[in-house]
């Protein structure tokens, strides 16, 4: 049951990201965004050299973009090397949504990242998830760019 559910999710992720890639290549790149997904590096921190700590999402979405999957694969490789480390994945939303729905959306985003890491061999017992909804923005602006930086899941070392 759980297996098929996860499989379904992976398939959804793959299909959705295909669709997104198709969109992104067609749409004009507005500064540091593709569509409305943040593609810059301004707010990013690193778990290790070349291992970004966060991935970004489109408005109201929790599907992983090509860039997000690339980041998460690097995180998974780092996690496989550092077997004694555990991690918390924080899910966040932008301010353009109702508080309660955003809590659920943040949880869904964090789990999208967690599920992807698990498909790359990281045990779920090493990965905990917390949603902050829209409570902890990194950028306090009220602009599309600020919102794109705030729609994120961040992997942090927990021990």
Partner 1 sequence: MKKLISIIFYFLITTNQSFALVEVDITRGNLDPLPIAVSPLYIEPGSKDVKQDDKIIKNVGEEISKVIEINFKRSGLFNPLKKDSFVQNPDIAHIKPRFEDWRLIKAQALVTGKVTVTEDKLRAEFRLWDVVSGKEMLALAFSTTPDNWRRVAHIISDKIYQRLTGEDGYFDSRIVYVSETGPKTQRYKKLAIMDQDGANVKYLTLGNELVLTPRFSPTNQLVTYLSYFRNLPRVYLLDIETGVQEVVGDFPGMTFAPRFSPDGKKIIMSFAKDGNSDIYTMNIESRVVERITDHTSIDTSPSYSPDGKYICFNSDRSGYQQIYVMRSDGSNVKRISFKKGIYGTPVWSPRGDLIAFTKMTGGKFYIGVMRADGSGERLLTENFYQEAPSWSPNGRVLIFYRETKTDSEGKGFSATLWSIDLTGYNERLIETETDGSDPSWSSLLSK
Judged by beta carbon, residue 62 or residue 65, the one nearer partner 1 is: 62
Judged by beta carbon, residue 8 or residue 66, the one nearer partner 1 is: 8
Segment (H or E) for 130: strand 127-133
Judged by beta carbon, residue 52 or residue 61, the one nearer partner 1 is: 61
Long-range contacts at 31-36 (CB < 8 A, ≥ 24 apart)? 31/145, 32/145, 32/148, 33/144, 33/145, 33/148, 34/65, 36/144, 36/147, 36/148
Nearest Cα to Cα of residue 129 among 101, 94, 158: 158
- Cβ of residue 151: shortest distance to partner 1, in angstroms? 15
Contact pattern from residue 121 through residue 140 relative to partner 1, giving x for each residue in contact according to CB under 8 A and a dash for the rest: --------xxxx--xxxxxx
Residue 104 binds partner 1, judged by CB under 8 A: yes
Residue 118 binds partner 1, judged by CB under 8 A: no
**Is the CB of residue 109 less than 8 Å from the CB of residue 154?**
no
Beta-strand relationship, 127-133 and 87-92? parallel
Which residues share a beta bridge with 34?
37
The residue from 71, 111, 148, 149 that contacts partner 1 (CB under 8 A) is 111
Residue 80 binds partner 1, judged by CB under 8 A: no
User: Token pair for residue 4?
Assistant: 């098929």
Residue 64 binds partner 1, judged by CB under 8 A: no
The residue from 62, 65, 148, 155 that contacts partner 1 (CB under 8 A) is 62
Using CB under 8 A as the binding rule, the residues of this chain from 10 to 49 that contact partner 1 are none
């Amino acid at each position: 049951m759980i297996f098929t559910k996860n499989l379904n999710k992976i398939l959804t992720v793959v299909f959705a990201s295909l669709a997104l890639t198709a969109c992104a290549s067609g749409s004009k790149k507005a500064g540091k965004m593709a569509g409305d997904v943040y593609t810059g590096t301004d707010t990013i921190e690193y778990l290790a050299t070349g291992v970004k700590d966060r991935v970004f999402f489109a408005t109201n979405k929790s599907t992983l973009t090509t860039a997000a999957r690339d980041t998460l694969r690097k995180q998974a490789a780092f996690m496989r090397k550092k077997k004694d480390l555990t991690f918390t994945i924080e899910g966040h939303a932008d301010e353009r949504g109702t508080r309660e729905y955003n809590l659920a959306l943040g949880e869904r985003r964090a789990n999208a990242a967690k599920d992807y890491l698990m498909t790359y061999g990281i045990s779920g017992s090493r990965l905990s998830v917390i949603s902050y909804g829209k409570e902890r923005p990194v950028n306090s602006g009220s602009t599309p760019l600020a919102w794109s930086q705030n729609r994120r899941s961040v992997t942090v070392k927990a021990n």
